[in-house]
């Protein structure tokens, strides 16, 4: 039986939500990942230091951890939630105070995806300059949901000019192009030394045809939407060859079943419990298993300058039947059998 070991896997773009949903999904990531960059688009969004601290406490509680004074007593697993702030025009004093509590600031164009109504409605350089210069000086990465409000298949490509504006005007600022989906974003990666990217597992596997080419598949609907085969090919080239400026970010985005299987289907694909298994299957099929460690951990450690909790995950080429539900959430490939399983986590 073929096996493969991953050390300190990291998910550099994750939605944990809050309340009951947080309690359901957080342990599914902490089981097999050493850490994850947690998105701040709650209702209301995470915009203050107090919000960051309180949300991290709720995550730790969902993982069965008890906090005593300044210490967190870990139960069952070793996992670090890397916290983020929802982008606003923050001043330097605020960012200096919160820098030790966050891994990044996440920028959403207003209304472009789930819970982003309070995002940026105008990319005015001078309005944003004080915040971005302070982030540059403090080495706080800017994570960006890169879509315009144009035609849905063109939104990411249309956003490339914003990335160029950010990268060229703030050369010390690490700009993370989140969950890229297009050949244009893949090509943009090497034009500026301060541009980086995350790629999801579902965008490596599906195209728009899988979402809407036959019967509509609501559990594959996400934003940014899956694109064309040539776009997927560009992403596969980056990921399978572990380009040093790309990282795995699942964008695993849970919604209750009634919100997905409904008129006005919520955007998000839930992959957290099967992400590593799917990646092993994909990389093995392309004879690139040796590059998976860089894609799921080493590149992220270098880009973010982090040292995650030690965790060794052993995967084996053994069939795994994906559950129909995790709580109220339907995962990608629910009820189907995938080729790899997690056999052991230490």
- The sheet that has 341-345: what strands, in order across it? 3-7, 312-316, 341-345
Measure the CA–CA gap between 286 and 181, rounded to whole angstroms: 20
What's phi and psi for 84, nearest 5 deg? -130, 160
Residues noted as catalytic:
251
- What pairing do the DSSP bridges indicate for beta strands 35-38 and 10-14? parallel
Question: Two tokens at 314?
Answer: 């052993």
Cα of 334 vs its chain's centroid, Å: 21
In 3D space, the residue among 324, 169, 162, 191 whose CA is nearest the CA of residue 178 turns out to be 162
Q: Are 163 and 188 in contact (CB under 8 A)?
A: yes
Residue with tokens 């004080």: 130
Map tokens 């688009």 to a residue: 41
| 25-to-5, 271, 297, 345 alpha-carbon distances in Å | 24, 10, 21, 18
Q: Is 201 left (phi over 0), alpha (psi -120 to 50) or beta?
A: alpha
Q: Is the peptide bond before 222 cis (omega within 30 degrees of 0)?
A: no
The partner residues of 142 in beta bridges, in order of sequence, read 105, 175
Q: Kind and range of the H or E element at 107?
A: strand 104-107
Q: Which two tokens mark 208?
A: 């728009």
- Measured distance CA(200)–CA(13) in Å, rounded: 9
**For residues 263 and 5, is the Cβ–Cβ distance under 8 A?**
no
Q: Alpha carbon 194 to chain centroid distance?
A: 19
CA distance 164 to 251: 23
* C-alpha to C-alpha distance for 32 and 263, rounded to whole angstroms: 34
């Amino acid at each position: 039986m073929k096996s493969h070991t991953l050390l300190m896997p990291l998910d550099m773009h994750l939605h944990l939500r809050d309340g009951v949903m947080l309690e359901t999904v957080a342990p599914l990531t902490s089981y097999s990942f050493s850490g994850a960059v947690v998105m701040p688009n709650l209702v209301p969004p995470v915009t203050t230091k107090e919000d960051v601290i309180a949300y991290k406490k709720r995550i730790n509680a969902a993982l069965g951890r008890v906090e005593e004074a300044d210490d967190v007593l870990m139960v069952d697993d070793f996992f670090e939630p890397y916290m983020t702030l929802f982008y606003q025009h923050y001043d330097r004093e605020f960012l200096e105070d919160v820098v030790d509590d966050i891994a990044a600031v996440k920028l959403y164009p207003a209304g472009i995806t789930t819970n982003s109504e309070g995002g940026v409605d105008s990319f005015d350089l001078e309005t944003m300059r004080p915040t971005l210069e302070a982030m540059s000086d403090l080495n706080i990465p800017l994570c960006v949901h890169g879509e315009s409000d144009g035609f849905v298949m063109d939104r990411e490509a249309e956003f490339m000019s914003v990335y160029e504006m950010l990268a060229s005007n703030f050369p010390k600022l690490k700009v993370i192009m989140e969950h890229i989906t297009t050949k244009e974003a893949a090509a943009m990666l090497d034009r500026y030394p301060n541009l980086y990217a995350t790629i999801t597992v579902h965008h490596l596997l599906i195209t728009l045809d899988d979402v809407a080419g036959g019967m509509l598949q609501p559990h594959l609907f996400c934003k940014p939407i899956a694109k064309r085969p040539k776009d997927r090919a560009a992403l596969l080239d980056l990921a399978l060859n572990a380009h040093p400026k790309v990282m795995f970010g699942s964008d695993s985005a849970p919604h209750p079943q009634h919100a997905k299987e409904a008129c006005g289907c919520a955007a998000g694909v839930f992959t957290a419990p099967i992400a590593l298994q799917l990646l092993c299957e994909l990389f093995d099929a392309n004879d690139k298993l040796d590059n998976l460690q860089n894609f799921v951990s080493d590149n992220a450690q270098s880009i973010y300058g982090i040292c995650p909790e030690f965790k060794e995950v052993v995967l084996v080429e053994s069939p795994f039947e994906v559950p129909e539900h995790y709580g109220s959430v339907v995962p990608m490939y629910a009820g189907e059998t995938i080729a790899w399983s997690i056999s052991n986590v230490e």
